[in-house]
Amino acid sequence: MVHILGAGIAGLLLAEELDKRGVSWTVYEKAERVGLEASGKNAGIIRSYETDSVLAALTEESLAYYKASEPTFDLCGIAFCPWEIDYETTQHSPITLVNGKKGIFLANNGSVLSLEVLSRLVGQSYSYGSIKMQSEASVAVKDNRATLVAHASSVSEDDAVVVACGEGAIAITKALGRPLRLLPHLRTIYEYENTQGYSGPIQWDEEAGSYFKTYKDILIATAGEQLPVAPRRPGEVDNYEADPRSPAILAKLFPALTLDALKGFRSCRRLMPLDNRPYCGRDKDLPNLFWFTGLGGRGMSIGPALAYGLADAIEKNEVSPLLEALSPSRIST
Ligand SMILES: Cc1cc2nc3c(=O)[nH]c(=O)nc-3n(C[C@H](O)[C@H](O)[C@H](O)COP(=O)(O)OP(=O)(O)OC[C@H]3O[C@@H](n4cnc5c(N)ncnc54)[C@H](O)[C@@H]3O)c2cc1C
């Protein structure tokens, strides 16, 4: 049996993968429904342009998963204006973004409707496990093994425990004395009516830290705010007021994002590891404990490949070189 803490994209993809392999699992989710944290609120961009080769390979693998499994997946391009590019030497043909800046066109990216991905993962029929909602869980140590602490759960000697609970992982790192140094960042997504009927590729101005994409009949955008914040205490909610400067910045950057088309905003947290690489693998001391956290701004992009690799580690004790690079043991002090 594999006990998974958290029904975000990480926990649910792992459950799906274990189920395909005939491995018993249970997901424990503290909220009353899924999608209240980053996994249900993000921009849903599956971005294959990566300077980190490990993350690039994981995205490539994940694109194949979405193409095969996700009805809302759309293979799309990104008109991208990167920080560091030499337009004289790049193999990409220069293009012009809608804001007039010079950029490149990146094919083979993707877009999904994040909340619908979660709904599919929750709603599909499973043979080997179930999801327990309103079930907050934690991890304790007994006889050099991790045990799950959750209402009405029984854990046997052979069980594995997976920490896949986003920001909730910080409390567990503290309780177990693991210095994973995960830092929450608050980010905001703005929603606009698509009044001008924009239907082109995602527009991404990296210099400004801003992008927008079409999402059903609306446009979603971020102005690139990234606020490091303290982890929330139990029961504490974010009541962040969006930065009033951001819609004005977006309106200036992208002609389709006019102030009168703005419908609303939502903020959520990205859990950033110091080296920008997630933690996905076995704990350094407790052989039955696994970490699947610190997905930063890439949980949708690389989640499927990570879930596949972690299922191999749990089921067969096999660790691919990609997952080796994401081992929680890489941080030792
Ligand atoms: C504004 C914004 C835009 C983004 N855009 C993109 C994008 O375009 N592409 C991309 O790839 N990524 C994007 N991301 C990043 C992506 O959303 C995250 O990496 C991903 O959702 C993290 O998933 P998770 O499952 O680790 O965590 P979460 O989504 O936080 O899920 C964790 C779950 O665990 C539950 N939980 C917490 N503690 C406990 C506990 N003790 N017991 C039981 N349950 C618990 C929580 O309630 C939650 O449901 C974006 C993030 C933000 C904030």
Q: What secondary structure letter does DSSP report for 204? A: E
Paired tokens of 71: 């009805």
What pTM value is reported for the model? 0.96
* Cα 307 to averaged position of ligand 1 atoms, centre (Å): 14
For residue 238, give the nearest of 33, 40, 37 by alpha carbon: 37
* Cα 166 to averaged position of ligand 1 atoms, centre (Å): 5
Q: Which residues of the chain have pLDDT under 70?
A: 87, 333
- 10: Cβ below 6 Å to ligand 1? yes
pLDDT tens digits for range 232-268: 988 888 888 888 899 999 999 999 999 999 999 999 9
Task: Look at residue 168 in the predicted model and tell me its pLDDT.
Answer: 96
Atom of ligand 1 nearest to the CA of 185: 53
* Cα 98 to averaged position of ligand 1 atoms, centre (Å): 30
* Ordered domains of the chain (ranges, CATH): 1-73+112-181+274-333 (3.50.50.60), 77-109+183-273 (3.30.9.10)
* Cα 323 to averaged position of ligand 1 atoms, centre (Å): 20
Burial of 235 (0-12, 13-18, 19+ CB in 10 A): exposed
* Cα 105 to averaged position of ligand 1 atoms, centre (Å): 28
- 278: Cβ below 6 Å to ligand 1? no
CA separation (Å) from 85 to 25, 95, 97, 291?
46, 13, 15, 35
Distance CA 98, CA 75 (A): 20
Task: Look at residue 331 in the predicted model and tell me its pLDDT.
Answer: 81
Task: Look at residue 333 in the predicted model and tell me its pLDDT.
Answer: 61
pLDDT tens digits for range 165-223: 999 999 999 999 999 999 999 999 999 999 999 999 999 998 888 999 998 789 999 99
- 38: Cβ below 6 Å to ligand 1? yes
Radius of gyration of the chain (CA): 20
- 279: Cβ below 6 Å to ligand 1? no
